[in-house]
Amino acid sequence: FSALSFDGSGQTNSGISGSTFKLSLVISRLRTMTNSSPSLRQQQRNKFRAIRNNLSANEKQQASAAISRHLATFFAQQRTPNQQPQKLTRIAAYLNSANEASLDVWIAEAWQHSQKQIFVPVVEEEQGQMGFYRYAKNTQTVLGHYNLRTLAQPEASEHIAAADLDCVLLPLLAFDKYGTRLGMGGGYYDRFFADDANRPYLLGISFDAQRSAQKLEKSRWDVGLDAVITESGLTQFGTRELASGK
């Protein structure tokens, strides 16, 4: 592409009009905006991290209690969107940070039902991967990476593959009405559940304040949510069956 120079008539020496040149500038700016999309996503993370972190301890405690009640109802019904009963026994949860919705009350109640098996994520930092391991009442935990609770001896617990899970409770920073999940940015959940054919039912856990009124930016590798539970209740985004994940 030859260099362009303007004369007084608004016409370039190559014969391209000034308006066409302006259009090319607009296209160039759009490309610049597209290339800067990761920074936009980081801005979204910063926004919703601040919103979540600014919730008071009492607000988070009350909301977490309501979320636990909604989870109890959800699993008690154990029905797919087409009303077919399903057994949800192998459930992935998480050990919350100080600012995330707590699942501790619900997990303690789930332990009372012998048919329910709870698994939690363990980050394998060197491999950049995450695995899920059985979390029982007598399982010991320690503070691990990012000062988060994790299993003290994951190798001593049962490991489970994504395809063998019935339902997954996922933490998040934000979500929108399309089921887009904005996570912390590590991509661990996206990688672990990348295989759509063997993906279990993905249920986001969030405070109402983390609901985005605007559509969140989504990358092609992002794994979306099937539903989300907040202190206000359940919101479903798709019609995938719970147990089969299809």
d(CA 244, CA 246) in angstroms, rounded, equals 5
Helix, strand or coil, per DSSP, at residue 59 = helix
Query: What was the pLDDT predicted at 16?
Result: 43
pLDDT at residue 7 greater than cutoff 50 = no
d(CA 240, CA 246) in angstroms, rounded, equals 5
Q: Using CB atoms within 10 Å of the CB of residue 225, give its burial: 0 to 12 exposed, 13 to 18 middle, 19+ buried.
A: buried
Query: What was the pLDDT predicted at 226?
Result: 94
Query: What was the pLDDT predicted at 88?
Result: 86
pLDDT band at 197 (very low <50, low <70, confident <90, very high): confident
Which residues, including other chains, have CB under 8 Å from residue 60's CB and lie 6 or more apart?
99, 101, 102, 207
d(CA 83, CA 80) in angstroms, rounded, equals 5
What confidence tens digit (pLDDT) does each residue in 33-47 have? Answer: 444 455 888 889 899
* Angle 133-242-181 from CA coordinates, rounded to 5°: 70
- As given in the structure block, the two tokens for residue 168 are 């997954």
Query: What was the pLDDT predicted at 143?
Result: 92
**Which sign, positive or negative, has the C-alpha torsion 119, 170, 199, 82?**
positive
- Regarding pTM above 0.75, the answer is yes
What confidence tens digit (pLDDT) does each residue in 56-80 have? Answer: 999 999 999 999 999 999 998 875 4
**Average confidence (pLDDT) over 201-230:** 93
Q: Report which of 198, 200, 144, 202 is spatially closest to residue 171, judged by C-alpha positions.
A: 202
Q: Looking up tokens 């759509």, which residue turns up?
A: 196
Strands lying side by side in the sheet with 233-236? 159-160, 129-134, 117-124, 90-92, 167-170, 201-205, 227-230, 233-236
Contact 201, 226 (CB under 8 A): yes
Q: Looking up tokens 């930092």, which residue turns up?
A: 125
Query: What was the pLDDT predicted at 2?
Result: 38
pLDDT at residue 241 greater than cutoff 80 = no
| DSSP 8-state assignment for residue 140 | -
d(CA 190, CA 188) in angstroms, rounded, equals 5
Helix, strand or coil, per DSSP, at residue 144 = coil
What confidence tens digit (pLDDT) does each residue in 127-185 have? Answer: 778 999 999 999 999 998 778 899 999 999 999 999 999 999 999 999 999 999 998 87
Higher pLDDT, 6 or 204: 204
Higher pLDDT, 67 or 5: 67
Query: What was the pLDDT predicted at 36?
Result: 44
